[in-house]
Chains A and B, each alone.
Chain A
Amino acid sequence: MRTIATLTRRELAAYFASPLAYVFVVIFLTFAGGLTFYVGGFIERGQADLAAFFQFHPWLYLFLVPAIGMRLWAEERKTGTIEFLMTLPVGAGQAVTAKFLAAWLFTGIALVGTVPLWITVSVLGDPDHGVVATAYLGSWLMAGGFLAISACVSAATSNQVIAFVGAVAICFLFMMSGLDLVQAAFRGWAPDAVLQAVRDLSLLGNFDALSQGVVDARNLFYFASLIALALVVNTAIVEMKRGR
């Protein structure tokens, strides 16, 4: 545990040691705000809720989260620091967990930057704070899911561009698995149970319920198991590619 905390601290500090953190937070806040007001019609809707804000999160994350995740392992491998890290008395699982946690905390920090929007709604009207809090939780969990997938892809390559493109593609499939784009590939040959299972894997579907304030154990379990599974695969990839 102490090792994971130490590694997480180092990773998190690394974000703020370079312009990366600031650029990311500024872009995230700009896009999140811009989409909410100009595309989501936050004001025109005349409703005291943040639906206009949260509905764009999957799309924002689709591009921004792989941008964070792409460097997690690819950069270590490229610069050779992975040899430094893996010859310290640190397990691959610990390193994988710590890197994920640091990046996830970082997306959490970016998300906290949007709280003024919540305050604005509270001043203008009387939103259901429970719904907003649940939606925030759902958004953060979804970011974690995207991130765990991105970290996994990053571990498989030393090229950050490949890591980014690969992560976006896989995250996109996970997002869309409830929609025709993916369903059509299964329809006709796969039994209905498979179609349903693929639909249940949809990040969008699981996020939608949470963003509307519905706390369902199944959705929470979905994100938790998605993250856990991705981290297990991530660890396996790191072990497998050791020194190569």
Chain B
Amino acid sequence: MQPLLELTGLTKRFGSILAVDRVGFAVARGEVVGFLGPNGAGKTTAMRMTAGFLPPDAGSARIAGFDIVDETRAAQARLGYLAEGAPSYGDMTPDALLGFVARVRGLDGATARRRRGEVVDRLSLARVLDQPIETLSKGFRRRVGLAAAILHDPEVLILDEPTDGLDPNQKHEVRTLLSEIAGGKAIVISTHILEEVDAVCTRAIVLAGGRIVADALPAELRQQAPNHNRVTVALDADHRDRLIAALRALPNIADIAEAHARDGRIRLTARPVRGAEILGAVRAAADSAEVPLDEITTEHGRLDDVFRRLTTAA
């Protein structure tokens, strides 16, 4: 099946700065891609090129099969795009703006009314429909932009920081909305909130210095964390040597670190070789060495750590 969104070798240079360097990936129906990267990594530039706002220096982007440069309007007709900062006409009311977008998008009267009702409802805009957008709070403005982006029920959605400026409840609502509509669409959201990746994304693409430095499932990405699957046990200091010996005998352990707790006990942290699962083995080793464990914990690794490692190396 042809991917709904396909970027190939997308490149943009501003003067001497290579803002986006041969970025390419494909997004299939049903995928929600988290587009990550530090500020200035080129996320917004890449998204602007994909949405047809900025012409690429090289490479191409296809939306539902239409080239954004050669068939701009056909491609844009199938795209919902939320620009960075959700710019919209401040003197218009959300009601007027949605009406305008519906007309520009060529929705017929009945469809426009139905869709408008749906997005107003989904994004809780009913209360502010008749207030000028410039008088609305940042959260409302963002949601008005989002409503305008999804009004025509596009197959491809590109959202530049859709939850920026929202409070935790609103963030949750927007993520729920995205998860619910994701089924039939290809969605790309840029963010630097990593919890968002866990909450909605099926895939994460990390950009640094204009290049893709990682393209993986969130779970795979997490495996790259230095503390992924690390197991820490607390035990009586008397048993230390016996447990260390037992752990050393295990095949999948890369190294063992040791820390003294204030209560006279000792903590041993075993780090597995990459990708290995050692919790069961550690427990079994302790059992067979007859070492009573006061505590045993395992870590999954934090995306933050992976993110920092990927984006500071570049």
A residues with CB within 8 A of B:
2-3, 6-7, 10, 13-14, 17-18, 79-81, 83-84, 86-91, 242-243
7 closest A-B pairs by CB: A243-B54, A80-B87, A17-B91, A89-B76, A83-B83, A6-B103, A89-B77
Known: A81-B88, A91-B73. A3 touches B104 (CB 8 A): yes
Residues in chain B near residue A6, CB distance under 8 A: 100, 103-104
Q: Give CA–CA (A6, B105) in the complex, Å.
A: 10
Pair B87/A88 contact, Cβ less than 8 Å: no
Pair A14/B106 contact, Cβ less than 8 Å: no
Q: Across the A-B interface, how many residue pairs have beta carbons closer than 8 Å?
A: 70
Known: A17-B132, A243-B54. A89 touches B87 (CB 8 A): no
- A103 CB to nearest chain B CB (Å): 15
Pair A13/B48 contact, Cβ less than 8 Å: no
Residues in chain A near residue B96, CB distance under 8 A: 10, 13
Known: A6-B104, A87-B81, A90-B104. A17 touches B92 (CB 8 A): yes
Closest residue of chain B to A239, judged by CB?
B55
Q: Give CA–CA (A88, B87) in the complex, Å.
A: 13
Pair B92/A88 contact, Cβ less than 8 Å: no
Pair B48/A243 contact, Cβ less than 8 Å: yes
- A198 CB to nearest chain B CB (Å): 36
Of the residues A10, A14, A87, contact of B76 by C-beta under 8 Å = A87
New contact pairs (14) apart from A7-B104, A10-B100, A243-B53, CB-CB < 8 Å: A10-B89, A81-B88, A83-B48, A84-B83, A84-B89, A84-B145, A84-B148, A86-B52, A87-B53, A90-B73, A90-B104, A91-B72, A242-B53, A242-B55
Pair A18/B91 contact, Cβ less than 8 Å: yes
Residues in chain A near residue B145, CB distance under 8 A: 84
- B314 CB to nearest chain A CB (Å): 24
Q: Give CA–CA (A18, B88) in the complex, Å.
A: 16
Q: Give CA–CA (A90, B88) in the complex, Å.
A: 16
Pair A80/B103 contact, Cβ less than 8 Å: no
Pair A80/B91 contact, Cβ less than 8 Å: no
Q: Does B184 contact A (CB under 8 A)?
A: no
Pair A88/B54 contact, Cβ less than 8 Å: no
Pair A81/B91 contact, Cβ less than 8 Å: no
Q: Give CA–CA (A81, B88) in the complex, Å.
A: 5
Pair A89/B73 contact, Cβ less than 8 Å: yes
Q: Give CA–CA (A176, B84) in the complex, Å.
A: 45
Pair B104/A89 contact, Cβ less than 8 Å: yes
- B156 CB to nearest chain A CB (Å): 12
Closest residue of chain B to A243, judged by CB?
B54
Residues in chain A near residue B51, CB distance under 8 A: 87
- A86 CB to nearest chain B CB (Å): 5
Q: Give CA–CA (A89, B52) in the complex, Å.
A: 10
Closest residue of chain A to B91, judged by CB?
A17
Q: Does B79 contact A (CB under 8 A)?
A: yes
Of the residues B79, B89, B92, contact of A87 by C-beta under 8 Å = B79
Pair B83/A88 contact, Cβ less than 8 Å: no
Residues in chain A near residue B90, CB distance under 8 A: 79
- B111 CB to nearest chain A CB (Å): 15
Within 223-245 of B, Cβ neighbours of A (below 8 Å) are at none
Pair A88/B55 contact, Cβ less than 8 Å: no
Residues in chain B near residue A17, CB distance under 8 A: 91-92, 132
Residues in chain B near residue A81, CB distance under 8 A: 87-89
- Mask of B58-93 contacts with A, CB within 8 angstroms, 1/0: 000000000000001110110101011101111110
Q: Does B291 contact A (CB under 8 A)?
A: no
Q: Give CA–CA (A89, B72) in the complex, Å.
A: 7
- B26 CB to nearest chain A CB (Å): 21
Residues in chain A near residue B136, CB distance under 8 A: none
Of the residues B54, B84, B105, contact of A89 by C-beta under 8 Å = B105
- A2 CB to nearest chain B CB (Å): 7
Q: Give CA–CA (A79, B84) in the complex, Å.
A: 12
